[in-house]
Structure 1
Amino acid sequence: MRTLGILMLALRSLLTIMLGVAVVALVNQAGGALADLVRFPKPGQGRLAWDLLVVFAAGTLGAWVAVRLAPRAPCRHALYFFALSLAIAVFAVMKLGADWPGWFSAGILLSLPLQVWMGASWAIRRNAG
């Protein structure tokens, strides 16, 4: 029975991390749809700045979800979420980096620790209070 409990805990942890990643994708989609709805011009620095802001908000909210719903060890969940998000961000920058200006690629990679820290801090304070 102990093995089943550990397996269920591991499954819940994995689902929590994946839910955080799904939230990032959904918020990014919503940000793009909102920009289209208000007729934000697609090409240009303004749209990229908007997209970077949305990426920041999405990462922060995704980290919050991953840490807030963690069955145990919320800081460890923040670390796992960060590692998975970093792998995805590095892949995206490598794959599409030539299509983006340098400041945008740097913003995606360099803001990730702050996103996870802010989301995790918010969730841990919320859990404690």
Structure 2
Amino acid sequence: MTTTTKTRRSAKKAAAPRKSIEEKKAQAAALHESIATQVESLRDSDRWTAFLAFASAFHAYSLGNVLLILGQRPDASRVAGFRKWQGLGRQVRKGEKAVRIVGYSAKKVTEEDENGDEVEKRVARFPIVC
């Protein structure tokens, strides 16, 4: 006769609902407004010097993304995704929020030209990355 023990199973978290196009556009507009605010604040020479010191740690990021990082986490010294931190042997603290930046991806699209021939071209997209 075999006995079985009941083991606890963790409850699966419900997937976050997908954002509508309007919500994504509003989020992108808010990020762009944040960039504009950061640029305006750099007029002061002390802020400019502080920005240059901050930006030197993020040389692999675009100007816009550096401004977004500065606006969201002025104390940031390194920025990476969740899996990247795990790959580096680090653990993200529970409750920490993502730093939102603008990414890049290209999508191949097939269209017909004026002669009726199919032409494949790449369309650039700039999704918000967390």
Q: Do the two structures share a fold, i.e. TM-score over 0.5?
A: no
More helix by share: 1
The one of the two structures with greater contact order (alpha-carbon pairs below 8 A, sep at least 6) is 1
* Structure label with greater radius of gyration: 2
What TM-score, normalized by structure 1, do the two folds share?
A: 0.29
More strand by share: 2
